[in-house]
Amino acid sequence: MFRRAVASGLLVVLAACGQASGDRPESALEFPRPDRPVSGLGSNQFSTETARDNRGEAETVMELAGVEPGMTVADIGAGNGYYTVRLAERVGEEGRVLAQDIDRSALERLGRRVERQRIDNVSIQPGALDDPHLPEKSFDRIFMVHMYHEIGEPYALLWRLWPSLREGGQVVVVDVDRPTDRHGIAPMLLACEFERVGYKLVAFKDAPELAGYYAQFERSANRPAPESIEPCRGDAVGKRAAIKQAAT
């Protein structure tokens, strides 16, 4: 199901990613644009990993997500692999982790890290702006941690992510409640964008140890046609009480 792409062969794979048309990938043109700003890419340096571990970030997220040995999980926007390596340890030898990113240099560094640490249950794969390129019916959990606000084509990407979940599979988002051009997204806007593409919110938690909030989504019964998707209003900020009620 997975093909391991280590640093030595990664550039060839990255060169095959889709080409853009104007300011959007051609493959995204049938989907609506988000009605909100999009944050620029943040830093992928992992100098803060010790600080994140000291506040129990990864452990908290994995506990909330119910990650267990033997699961197959994806780390979207993996960067240098803070979550990738910890998920690999958590799912164990019988589990698998697919690390995905659109940043070439980050994937090269992650490939070297995986090789150096001899982590055998991790695969590395480049994604596109509008498509994570994940195999269908393959994942128990998909993680998008502190990166959703950087996705320029959220409706296309979430729509193409939908088939990759197994029965009972879930998407986990960790983000910050602030404007999308300031590296965050309001929880109600996040939930709205997921709902428009065929997901439902099943869990929400304010979590200071995550420097933000935790949200968890499942697939709804149906996925809408791309041309029928209505973008959410960028000012759909809502109230915390409303989103907590929606998750119950």
Note the pLDDT tens digit of each residue in 49-67: 999 999 999 999 999 999 9
Angle at 72 between CA 70 and CA 73, to 5 degrees: 130
How far apart CA 192 and CA 57 sit, in angstroms, is 25
The CA distances from residue 218 to 207, 215, 223, in Å, are 20, 10, 12
Residues 187-243 pLDDT 10s: 999 999 999 999 999 999 999 888 899 999 999 999 999 999 999 998 766 666 566
User: How many C-beta atoms surround the C-beta of residue 36 within 10 A?
Assistant: 20
Which residues have C-beta within 8 Å of that of residue 137, sequence separation ≥ 6? 163, 164, 165, 166, 167
Residues 92-137 pLDDT 10s: 999 999 999 999 899 999 999 999 999 999 999 999 999 999 999 9
Helix axes of 104-116 and 82-91: crossing angle, nearest 10 degrees: 40
Tell me which DSSP letter residue 107 carries: H
Strand partners, 24: 21
Mean pLDDT of the chain: 88
Nearest by Cα to 27 from 134, 156, 154: 156
Contact by Cβ (8 Å): 197, 226: no
Pairing state between β 122-126 and 20-21 = unpaired
How far apart CA 84 and CA 122 sit, in angstroms, is 8
Q: Which helix (H) or strand (E) holds 201?
A: strand 199-207
Is 0.95 topped by the overall pTM?
no
Residue at 130: amino acid letter:
D
Residue at 89: amino acid letter:
E
How far apart CA 81 and CA 208 sit, in angstroms, is 22
Residue 85 has pLDDT above 60, yes or no: yes
- By three-state DSSP, how is residue 141 classified? strand
Phi/psi region, residue 212 (left: phi>0; alpha: psi -120 to 50; beta: rest), is: left
Higher pLDDT, 14 or 135: 135
How far apart CA 133 and CA 130 sit, in angstroms, is 9
Phi, psi of 76 (to 5 degrees): -85, 130
How far apart CA 114 and CA 123 sit, in angstroms, is 9
**Burial zone of 61 (CB within 10 Å; 0-12 exposed, 13-18 middle, 19+ buried):** buried
User: How many C-beta atoms surround the C-beta of residue 180 within 10 A?
Assistant: 22
What is the predicted pLDDT for the residue at 2?
47
| Residues above pLDDT 90, as percent of the chain | 75
